[in-house]
């Protein structure tokens, strides 16, 4: 999958589309999802043009990878959801349910979360 410079997250990074920012640094941007699936639903995206985990793992620098992973944990602490906990989820490709071709993770919190995958679909 080629990176699409016009995808919604690329446009948010360029300032063309507003977002409710939670945190930003040189490597990541975290913002509230416009269609929350939990009381707390934040997206964390790298600032680089990476389509998914595979692309990120192959092309990102060690510093970008470390900052992204540490950044997700930092956002959890900023939101005050590190205790009692949160879920981090990322989708890759069509079968994984990826809708935007820019690597992103969803941070869900604010209540006890159910199963990650419904039992009947396993």
Would the CA dihedral through 111, 112, 116, 120 be positive or negative? negative
Distance CA 50, CA 101 (A): 8
Strands 40-46, 87-89: pairing is unpaired
Give yes or no: 32 in active site.
no
**Catalytic member of 27, 74, 104, 106:** 104
CA dist list (Å): 117 to 22, 50, 96, 106: 28, 26, 11, 15
Neighbours of 2 (CB within 10 A): 8
Question: Angle at Cα 35 formed by Cα 116 and Cα 48, nearest 5°?
Answer: 80
Q: Which residues are catalytic?
A: 104
């Amino acid at each position: 999958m080629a990176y699409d410079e016009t995808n919604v997250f690329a446009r948010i990074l360029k300032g063309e589309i507003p977002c409710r920012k939670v945190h930003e640094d040189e490597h990541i941007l975290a913002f509230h999802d416009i269609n929350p699936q939990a009381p707390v639903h934040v997206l964390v995206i790298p600032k680089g043009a990476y389509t998914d985990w595979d692309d990120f793992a192959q092309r990102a620098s060690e510093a970008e990878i470390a900052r992204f992973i540490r950044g997700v944990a930092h956002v959890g602490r900023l939101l005050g959801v590190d205790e009692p906990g949160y879920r981090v989820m990322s989708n890759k490709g069509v079968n994984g349910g990826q809708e935007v071709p820019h690597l992103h993770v969803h941070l869900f919190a604010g209540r006890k979360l159910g199963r990650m995958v419904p039992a009947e679909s396993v």
